[in-house]
Structure 1
Amino acid sequence: MTDEHLRGPHGPVPVRIYQPLGDGTGRPLLVWCHGGAFAYGDIDMPEADATARVLAAAGTVVVSVDYRRAVDGVHYPVPLDDVVAAYQGTLQVAEALGVARRRVHLGGASAGANLAAGACLRLRDSGADLPSSLILLYPCVHPVLPSASAELADRLSGLPPHLRFEPEGYATVIENYLGATAATATGEAMPGLADLRGLPRTLIVNCEYDELRASGEAFAGSLRDAGVDVDQRMAPGVTHGHLNRPNLTEARRTLSGMSQWIDDAARVGDVEEEGGAAWR
């Protein structure tokens, strides 16, 4: 594990690099963005550190991004700029890390999932290299949460207030990130509003007892409508942010699933490079 800095438009972007044990080339790599309502969290929180350690132990190089948070006058697009810069900087050093550029993935959790998806949209629009896949955990990608299904509303009805995302509190989070009202959000800032055509294959993992599941489910539907390959999963029995509780059975299962997704993508990439069948 090493702490480094990558060049960014607002100054150096701190990253922490987790390398698997032993020597090796051709490894996959995940650029990972923690959550925290855009204003909280850091690369020491379990959602960042424990996630990176587990994935690295399973053979994936992880670059955890300590993007600037929306505090002290910082707003969109600064955190997103940092994530884009970290991804592009990682591509430049990928070979030195024993990673082929086509095996670099991009992902995040909650607000970090928003930043990962927004970064991918900017990369697509600029004609830059896209990640092998997007990995989005309980994403927050809409300026206003979509309506919950009857099933989700029933799940949420028994939750205590501190585990809920009530409309007023959610609006505060979004408007603090934007530095403006939710109505001003662009698709890059809130990817649920964007044209999603041309994005890479995407894994979405939602939490069963989570208001943000409505955002993740709606985003999965929009991706499918845009022709993107999507694998949508649900972590049963858990509330929002379960990767911050890494000893939970469902957290361990989610991390195992993420690792398997990355491994499968690498094998598919080998087939595609050899002119085999496209990924399905």
Structure 2
Amino acid sequence: MSTTTASTATASIREEVLAGPHGDLRVRVYRPGSGAPAAGLVWAHGGAFMHGDLDMPEADHVARVLAAGGVAVVSVDYALAPAFDHHAVLADDGLEKGLARMLAATDGARFPVASQELAFAFAWAVDADLGVPAGGWSLGGASAGGNLAAGVALRLRDAAAGDTDAAPVPPSSTARTVPRSVVLAYPVAHHELPDPWPELATKIAALPPDRSYPPAAVRAMNDHYLGHERGPDSPYAFPAGHDLRGLPPTLIVTSDHDALRSSGEAYAAELAVAGTDVMVVREDDTLHGHLNQPDDPGCARSLARISAWLTSDVLVGTTHEPPA
């Protein structure tokens, strides 16, 4: 494991390269500039499973703002699927040929690699002596990272219940810890997007083509992440529709004008039916990916909500009965 360190007025920042389950795994650790952290968050950026890095605002800006508010953040540079400009590929070739081109690519990592890496990073953070007690760590992500966080929450639940193969951990880990809470920003929890309500459908219809995310295109991107067209073989890939009992309290922040909002809202309903404490907030006047737009007022509002959730003793509920 290697380490590099830097600091700012509001955060101490260092990078580590972990011996992850699939090779080197880079994480960037943000700690409050002064005082002990009030909470911890292991975070995964978005990018359609094939784009994004630790420097994008959805990773770096999010972590800096949360660290300034007292949260220790471990931002995870998980392995990406083969990279494509999916808008261009799907537009030029059509969905069937475009997906065939995407599936033929081999220069990247597909499920379950990123999912297992995020689970490993969470276990590392719990044991890393970052000033946060084991029970104070939450897990979260945005968009595709929200998918990863939701799936890893299932992994960690199952590992804590005795399925030691569900979530890889560092050799030094002595305990399997369930997150205090889960934070999902405009996640894609479904392999196929649920139908939108008329209000959302009207907003989607008004979006430009490169922001509309039609269901068939989302299905193609999800298949590209899986590496096949059979759909998910594991609940850890797309957790909607599976057994969600015993999961930690969950905050879901959705974007207002966003086709993926139908997934976040439907997943929240499933969590509630499963007995999980859940809070859902639709951020008004935002597009998908608004945490990647630091100048968007909706970004600041959402980060304030997330910070309050993570550091509050009253907003977050409890993890209830695990599945039998």
1:263 CA displacement: 1.1
Cα deviation 1:105-139 (Å, max 9, x = unaligned): 10000000010111110111111311000000000
Structure 1 residues 263-274: aligned runs within 5 Å: 263-265=311-313
Structure 1 residues 14-33: aligned runs within 5 Å: 14-24=26-36, 27-33=38-44
Match of 2:103 in 1: none
Give the partner amino acid of 2:25: V
1:73 CA displacement: 4.2
Are 2:30 and 2:63, in contact at CA under 8 Å, matched by a contact in 1?
yes
* 2:15 paired with 1:3: yes
In 1, Cα distance between the equivalents of 2:19 and 2:125?
10
Would you tell me which structure has more helix in proportion to its own residues? 1
1:193 CA displacement: 2.6
Structure 1 residues 208-247: aligned runs within 5 Å: 208-247=256-295
Instruction: Specify every segment of 5 or more residues in structure 1 that has no aligned partner in the other structure, as ranges.
Output: 273-280
SS of the residue corresponding to residue 178 of structure 2 reads: coil
In 2, Cα distance between the equivalents of 1:146 and 1:42?
28
* 2:223 paired with 1:190: no
SS of the residue corresponding to residue 129 of structure 1 reads: coil
Match of 1:134 in 2: 182
Match of 2:142 in 1: 109
In 1, Cα distance between the equivalents of 2:122 and 2:232?
26
Q: How many residues align?
A: 267
In 1, Cα distance between the equivalents of 2:122 and 2:18?
9
1:23 CA displacement: 3.5
Match of 2:9 in 1: none
Q: What is the RMSD of the two structures over their aligned residues, measured on CA atoms? A: 1.6
* 2:137 paired with 1:89: no
Match of 2:59 in 1: 48
In 1, Cα distance between the equivalents of 2:17 and 2:251?
28
Give the partner amino acid of 1:191: P
Match of 1:171 in 2: 219
1:52 CA displacement: 0.3
Structure 1 or 2, whichever has the larger Rg, is 2
In 1, Cα distance between the equivalents of 2:74 and 2:190?
26
Are 2:256 and 2:285, in contact at CA under 8 Å, matched by a contact in 1?
yes
Match of 2:6 in 1: none
In 2, Cα distance between the equivalents of 1:126 and 1:22?
34
Give the alignment's TM-score, normalised by structure 2.
0.79
Cα deviation 1:56-102 (Å, max 9, x = unaligned): 00110110000001121411000101101100111111xx2111111
Identity percentage of aligned residues: 45
Cα deviation 1:25-44 (Å, max 9, x = unaligned): x6311000000000000110
Give the alignment's TM-score, normalised by structure 1.
0.92
* 2:90 paired with 1:79: no
In 1, Cα distance between the equivalents of 2:240 and 2:229?
16
Moved over 2 A (4+): 182-186, 265-269
Cα 1:184/1:100, change in 2 over 3 Å:
closer
Match of 1:201 in 2: 249
Match of 1:69 in 2: 80
1:267 CA displacement: 8.6
In 2, Cα distance between the equivalents of 1:39 and 1:125?
27
Give the partner amino acid of 1:31: V
Are 2:80 and 2:108, in contact at CA under 8 Å, matched by a contact in 1?
no
Instruction: Specify every segment of 5 or more residues in structure 2 that has no aligned partner in the other structure, as ranges.
Output: 1-12, 83-106, 161-175, 319-324
Are 1:143 and 1:182, in contact at CA under 8 Å, matched by a contact in 2?
no
1:168 CA displacement: 2.9
1:53 CA displacement: 0.3
SS of the residue corresponding to residue 204 of structure 1 reads: strand
Match of 2:163 in 1: none
